[in-house]
Structure 1
Amino acid sequence: NPVPLTIPMGTGHEFAGIIDLLSQEALYYDKETFGREVRREPIPAEYVEIAQEWRSKLMDAVADLDEQIMLAYLEGDEVPLELIHAALRKGTLAQKFQVTYAGSSLDYCGVQPILDGVVNYLPSPLDVPPVHGEHPNPGKKDTLEQERKTDPDEPFAGLIFKIVADKHADLCFVRVYSGTLKSGSRVLNARTGKKELISQLWHIQADAREKLETDSVEAGDIVGVIGPKDVVTGDTICDQKAPILLESITFPETVISMAIEPDSSADRKKLEDALALMGKQDPTFKAKINEETGQTIISGMGELHLEIITNRLKDKDHYGLNVKVHKPRVSYRETVKSTVSAEEEFSRSTQGETHYARIKVQIEPSPNTETIEVLSKLKPGEIPAEADKIVRQAVLESAQSGGIVGYPLMHVRFTILDVGYREGETDEEALRAAAAHAVQAALTKAQIGLLEPVMKLEVVTPSEFLGNIQGDLNQRHAHILGSEPRGHLIALEAQVPLARMFGYSSHVRSLSQGRASFSMEPLKYDLAPQSVLDEMLN
């Protein structure tokens, strides 16, 4: 239920500025100052009628929420802006409507009103209920569920929601949910259990950074922190005496990969360092070394994502590296379509000592498991606790090394059915070797399925090109969900395998004479055609 507070004057090349329905003025933005300077003038005659129409709709929306506004509006009296602001905030917080703004990033137009709207209408930390989390290591005296109020007197809890990587010191963006954070203090990383030092607190505004004059921040603040070393985006930092693990930030699996290499071997270390920094800064980007080929493989959310990464590596203002990239490849996953078990034994004698272990595992499909799950049917005390931990870890690590084709496993559950353990002969080496052999044997026996990334696609096009675009998507094995009018355009929604979408950007421009646009994002992994798997196996 949108309620516009500003409307555009013109569209496309004729776009001139916006009309502020609250102040009833026309706003013109100066391109030379990138929209910083705003000129306010009376509404042009040709827009007076449309502005009055939208102003009436705005007043109807707020009058329903405030009796004082209703009476003044019906009697034709001027309604004070303060009352309108209060009603707009009330309606926004109650989700009765959504305040909406016009603007153009190309023309540097409309930024100030929407930022004012964030301040005036969106909920402050005091408007939201207490944040809930879990105790990272619940004991007998600790309950699993924890709660923190937006109160500086509560124990400190904060979430790292962004990291700006730097060669010298990472800058962590932290939202303080409760308590007080002081520079020079030590906090607990609830994920790792390690203590982290808070060296400095910084005020951040866009690209500008400024060291805080005060030495502390309180609940509700967002602050830049320098000091923590072993942290990633989504980590909770908290009071050591009152641990809490807040809900982390989850990121989608990467769907596309390509090999990258420096022009000269002298730049290899620089490339590795640059990729490590970028991976820390962008959790949806990953870089690794292919152990078989020695190639550096970068992975991301799509062609454009990796193109931006590559350009940043080459840009002299960033890293200034000369790199070569290979054609992008789809990041497939493997799964199993049958339930099988396998038992493997490891026995070796070296220097008069026998190393022995036997492990039986079961592998089965688990559609609700995001990646790999490891369970155990061993009874408590059947084998030493340390051996049980080693077996679980070894099964997981062996499974994480990939399936039959070499792609990571997904939607798979391993269950440890039995472990042959001999006192004095069974050690970590034997357990790990037996686990690796058992996992590989189970994968070999199971019916393998190949999973491919499926993308959510939206194409916005003039109606005369809709038929051509639909026909092209059908050839790409897309599942078209439907279409709807969007102004004078048509928005088409579909699900389509990523493998069929390479080069789509230039192709859709060709089909629509450059007038269609599209957006695409990862949706899910689904079974690929058997022919694709057969080709890989052969």
Structure 2
Amino acid sequence: MRAIGTTDLHTVRNLGILAHVDAGKTTLTERILFATGTVHKRGEVHEGTTVTDFDAQERDRGITIFAAAVSCDWAGHRVNLIDTPGHVDFSDEVERSLRVLDGAVAVFDGVAGVEPQSESVWRQADRYGVPRLAFVNKLDRAGADLDAAVASIRDRLGAVPLVVQLPIGSEDAFTGVVDLLRLRALRWDAAGGAYDTGPVPDELRAEAHRRRAELEETVAGLHPGALEEYCATSALTEATLVRALRELTLAREAVVVLCGSAYRNRGIEPLLDAVLAYLPSPADVPPVRGTAVGDPAASGGAERPADPAAPFTALAFKVTTTSTGRLTFLRVYAGTVHKGDQVLDPGTGRTERIARILRVQADRHSEAERAVAGDIVAVVGPKAARPGSTLCAPGAPVVLEAPHTAEPMVSVAVEARRSTDTGRLAGALARLAEEDPSLAVRTDPETGQTVLSGMGELHLEVAVEKVRREHGVEVSVGRPQVSYREAVATGVRGHVHRHVKQDGGAGQFAHVVIDVEPLEGGFAFASTVVGGRVPQEYARAVEAGCRDALAEGPLGGHPVTGLRVVLTDGATHSKDSSELAFRAAGRFALREALRACELRLLEPVAEVTVTAPDDCVGGVLGDLGARRGRVTGSTAGAEGGLGAGGTAQVTATVPLAELFGYASALRGRTRGRATFTARPAGRRPVPAPVAAQVLGG
């Protein structure tokens, strides 16, 4: 493997591959590595020979579970690429990857078009402002339809698709594409090797010119510079089109759409060219913003430009333990770090030494002496950094915004089968939670059981299997349970709590008066105390105490959400008041106030999309209703379009507690002819009879 050297920032692309499960992300990544000469044999998902799906569980299950980073060279540019999972249970891996990427390629199945998880990852990319290209894959499959897939991008994602290619042939006869910008044909041989460039086939010439004219008209309507040229000449030159497409992509006002078949190695090289032409380099991205630490003059925030000479600033987005040691994956936003340098983790206040810098090719690594702005590397040395931690120059401390961490939805009780392994299990679970923030480990205060929580059944299965394989601990696992929450429906006002404690030493005194109000999700705290009756530092301590009280609610010991606490009054003692006393007062005051509030139980719900034959839809609807599902939409299949062949799609929101075992039930009800996908859709109140069962059980 050839090491990738440090290059000019304009010749670097940091991008991710995003898609619904089975849309072909990993196969596309493999073909990119093959096309760029990074590997000399094409890996196959079904054979378990891919570079990025290197984990044993990924190869056994045939899906991507862990985001994997690779680098390759194309046309004098370095492409740092992250292959992300497509299954909804691992969406947190996608979230952390998107936080550090400059661009992305969204892959869509040419038959299915936009699928539920396609929408989820698209929204995640929107949240982080990541420009995208679209690649409609699997055009060699029966029923593939580029126009229908593009229509689903427009209708379901609200994007403006700009199609720059036209397929040559369809299904098994798909052999290449027409490049609408240069009006030329690209054809691949039967083995999917090198492609030949030639004139547009006669039977497609009129269609190619029509689509080129449509592309010019659409671009002119979106881009002022292109509009000026279009009004003057009624056409756009290739150079104007390329410039406009790049600027529209960077502004996220449109998405360039390409097509091909990754499995047959058709359309890969033009996609790589489009990545270089349209997606941003680190130099094209605005300076990263963070919060300056210990600098009152920078209270509005600190910026770090993508400049190797700026103070070193990097964000950790992945932590894993390998035979090489504990690897911390970094996106370097600014500055330069050398092997042996000391860096600061401002979140912990620790100074860490960078012992090694590694350029990563999935599970293989090569040594590097330094990393500069724009690089994605792994480092060995930091002991306390976790996903979301900032590492920076000790002399210029700054904290970057961490990726959003999803709230665990499903829990299982776990215990070691051998009592002698109890300590090893605790260590293994702690390491898992350190590497994956979407996993949570706690001890049930009533039963004493260890409870592992995650995003779904598959997420927890993978975590438990990792404990067995990597740590050699045999584990017994309980039945999955959903994670309920308690929320305030009706609050209370003027709740008073006096915390007075005298035990022979320094006393504790805190007097607080709080209001508790309902809030649409989450927790908020405010202080309206005037006249200095409760100093600001004590008010912050009250907030910390309130947050402590959120861990267990009075209904059933579930975490509390959906409330706003307002500190309205209080009193202090000249000697006995302290932050500790006010934190305790805040905790006890909120616990007491919650008992006086009207609370409701919330349960997680999922948006379920079922694709079933028309003659099975009635049974599917009846079953969803029996599971307390609320049908939100249904779409009949159309001949030749998405969902063709006498099928329909039914979408419903269903309580997660009712979905355990749904896959087997759906197969049985439809004789194996229906499929479904599910994605988290927030929480909703539990009906009173069901809540009574949950709380009584």
TM-score normalised to structure 1 length: 0.81
User: Residue 19 and residue 262 in structure 1: after superposition, are their counterparts in 2 closer, same or farther (change >3 A)?
Assistant: farther
In the TM superposition, 1:249-398 aligns within 5 A as 249-314=403-468, 316=469, 318-340=470-492, 341-351=494-504, 356-367=509-520, 370=522, 372-379=523-530, 381-383=532-534, 387-398=538-549
Which amino acid is the alignment partner of residue 309 of structure 1? A
Map of 1:32 onto structure 2: none
Structure 1 residues 198 and 57, CA, compared in 2 at 3 Å: closer, same or farther?
A: farther
What CA distance in whole angstroms lies between the structure 2 residues aligned with 1:351 and 1:415? 33
**C-alpha distance in 1, partners of 2:482/2:414?**
15
Find out whether 1:520 has 2:651 as its counterpart: no
Rounded Cα–Cα distance in structure 2 between residues aligned with 1:431 and 1:440: 14
Are 2:609 and 1:458 equivalent residues in the alignment? Answer: yes
Q: SS of the residue aligned with 1:406?
A: coil
Measure the CA separation in 1 of the matches of 2:687 and 2:675.
29
Distance across 1 between alignment mates of 2:186 and 2:595: 72
CA distances 1:455-491 after superposition (whole Å, capped 9, x unpaired): 1222233333333222322222222222344241433
Range with greater deviation from structure 2 (258-267 or 196-205)? 196-205
RMSD (CA atoms): 3.9
| Structure 2 residue runs without a partner (length 5+) | 1-131, 145-170, 180-184, 220-225
Question: In the aligned structure 2, how far is the partner of 1:92 from the partner of 1:150?
Answer: 20
Report the alpha carbon displacement of residue 283 of structure 1 after superposing the two structures with TM.
1.7
Q: Distance in 2 between matches of 1:116 and 1:259?
A: 50
Residue-by-residue CA offset, 1:301-325 (whole Å, 9 max, x unaligned): 11222122223333x3x33321111
- Residue pair 1:165, 1:278 contacting (<8 A) in 2 also: no
> Which residue of 128, 131, 138 maps to 2:288?
131
- Tell me if structure 2 keeps the 8 A contact 1:480–1:493: yes
Whole-angstrom distance in 2 between the partners of 1:430 and 1:85: 64
C-alpha distance 42-198 of structure 1, shift in aligned 2 (>3 A): closer
Pick one of 3, 19, 29 that aligns with 2:176.
19
- The answer as to whether partners of 1:232 and 1:280 remain within 8 angstroms in 2 is yes
Aligned residue number for residue 363 of structure 2 = 207
Deviation at 1:328, TM superposition (A): 0.6
CA shift, 1:537, in A, is: 4.5
Q: What secondary structure, in the 3-state scheme, does the structure 2 residue paired with 1:184 have? A: coil
Match of 1:494 among 652, 671, 685: 652
- Alignment partner, residue 165 of structure 1: 321
CA–CA distance in structure 2, aligned partners of residues 50 and 512 of structure 1: 43
Instruction: Give secondary structure in 1 for the equivalent of 2:678.
Output: strand
Question: For residues 388 and 112 of structure 1, do their structure 2 counterparts lie closer, same or farther at Cα, with a shift above 3 Å needed?
Answer: same
Q: CA deviation at 1:112?
A: 7.2
User: Are the equivalent residues in 2 in contact too, given 1:17–1:26 (CA < 8 A)?
Assistant: no
1:149 paired to 2:305: yes
Q: CA deviation at 1:5?
A: 7.7
CA distance in 2, matches of 1:355, 1:97: 61
Contact 1:189 1:195 in 2 (8 A): yes
Q: What is residue 564 of structure 2 aligned with on the other side?
A: 413
Amino acid at match of 1:164: T
State the aligned residue count.
Answer: 511
| 1:327, distance to aligned residue in structure 2 (A) | 0.6
Q: Is the CA contact (8 Å cut-off) linking 1:404 and 1:443 kept in structure 2? A: no
Equivalent AA in structure 2 for residue 123 of structure 1: P
Query: What is the SS of the residue equivalent to 1:150?
Result: coil
Question: Quick check: 1:262–1:268 contact (8 Å CA) kept in 2?
Answer: yes
| Aligned residue in 1 for 2:334 | 178
Shift of 1:119: 4.6
The question of whether the paired residues in 2 share the 8 Å contact of 1:6 and 1:19 is answered with no
Contact map agreement 2:632 2:652 (CA 8 A) in 1: yes
% same residue: 31
Structure 2 CA distance, aligned partners of 1:507 and 1:152?
57
Whether the 8 Å CA contact 2:607–2:652 is kept in 1: the answer is yes
Q: 2:203 and 2:627 mapped to 1: Cα distance?
A: 44
Q: Give the match's secondary structure for 1:9.
A: coil
Match of 1:33 in 2: none
Gaps of 5+ in 1: 30-37
Matched, 1:228 2:382: yes
Per the TM alignment, residue 433 of structure 1 is displaced from its structure 2 partner at its CA by 4.9
**Aligned-partner Cα distance in 1 for 2:607–2:625:** 15
Write out aligned runs for 1:420-439 (5 A). 420-426=571-577, 431=582, 433-439=584-590
Would the aligned equivalents of 1:455 and 1:498 in 2 still touch at CA under 8 Å?
yes
Residue number in structure 1 paired with 2:555? 404
1:241-288 CA-to-partner distances (Å, cap 9, x unmatched) read 333333320022111111011110111122122212221222211112
Alignment deviations for residues 479-531 of structure 1 (CA, whole Å, 9 cap, x no partner)? 22223442414333322221221111112222332232222122212221122
Q: Is the 8 A contact 1:180 1:217 kept in 2?
A: yes
**1:81-125 alpha-carbon deviations (Å, 9 max, x no partner):** x999888756644654433334467x8998777566545543222
| Residue 245 (structure 1) aligns with | 399
